[in-house]
């Protein structure tokens, strides 16, 4: 099986720093149709998100669950079903093992669901997303939404051939043309 791992803020929903209420959830234009196409190509859809606002006391885990429920409901209107939402509630100073760029959330998920990471991708907009993909052994893809333009400037020379797309809709070409994914500089 293959999976499409997705960052939450700036990828599956519009970027709002420390988003704390379900009514703030807004899907990027064309994202519903795009994820439906990925799903139709046989990818399990999995959101992987750092939510340090919980540890920082900005909002509760219940607030985040309500936000995730809203995301699930919004995407269901397009026939999109997420297999799981993986979340780290810690801030960097907590020194946990689950915060991206650590691959532990992805690796634990792949063991439980028999996912082939060599056939899987991680679409993100932050350096931690790109590094998490490398650390997990799956294909990173950078979106220029959210913090993506800033992240593009920070890519190292060895990461310069990572596929970069303007938005989630544009990534669908990867789902359709890469039945067998070609790796891009995964070291």
pLDDT in tens, 30-66: 999 999 999 999 999 999 999 999 999 999 999 999 9
Radius of gyration of the chain (CA): 15
Average pLDDT over residues 131-146: 95
Average pLDDT, the chain: 92
For the record, the structure tokens of 184 come out as 């891009």
84: which strand partners? 46
For the record, the structure tokens of 123 come out as 């679409």
For 168, phi then psi, to 5°, come to: -65, -35
Q: Is 42 left (phi over 0), alpha (psi -120 to 50) or beta?
A: left
Top-tier CATH class for 2-177: alpha beta
Instruction: Identify whether 9 is a catalytic site residue.
Output: yes
Which are the contacts of 83, defined by CB distance < 8 A and separation ≥ 6?
Answer: 3, 44, 45, 46, 113
- Percent of the chain having pLDDT more than 70? 94
Residue-level pLDDT at 186: 41
| DSSP structural state of residue 21 | S
Residue from 9, 14, 125, 129 carrying the catalytic annotation:
9
Instruction: Identify whether 63 is a catalytic site residue.
Output: no
């Amino acid at each position: 099986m293959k999976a499409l791992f997705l960052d939450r803020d700036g990828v599956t929903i519009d970027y709002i720093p420390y988003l704390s209420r379900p009514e703030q959830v807004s899907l990027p234009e064309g994202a519903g149709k795009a994820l439906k196409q990925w799903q139709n190509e046989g990818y399990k859809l999995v959101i992987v998100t750092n939510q340090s606002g919980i540890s920082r006391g900005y909002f509760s885990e219940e607030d985040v669950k309500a936000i995730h429920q809203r995301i699930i409901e919004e995407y269901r209107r397009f026939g999109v079903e997420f297999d799981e939402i993986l979340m780290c509630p810690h801030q960097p100073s907590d020194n946990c093992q689950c915060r991206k760029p650590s691959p532990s959330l992805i690796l634990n998920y792949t063991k439980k669901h028999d996912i082939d990471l060599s056939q899987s991708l991680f679409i993100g907009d932050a350096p931690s997303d790109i590094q998490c993909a490398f650390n997990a052994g799956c294909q990173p893809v950078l979106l220029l939404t959210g913090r993506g333009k800033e992240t593009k400037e920070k890519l190292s020379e060895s990461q310069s051939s990572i596929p970069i797309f303007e938005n989630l809709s544009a990534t669908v070409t990867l789902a359709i043309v890469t039945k067998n994914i070609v790796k891009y500089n995964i070291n």
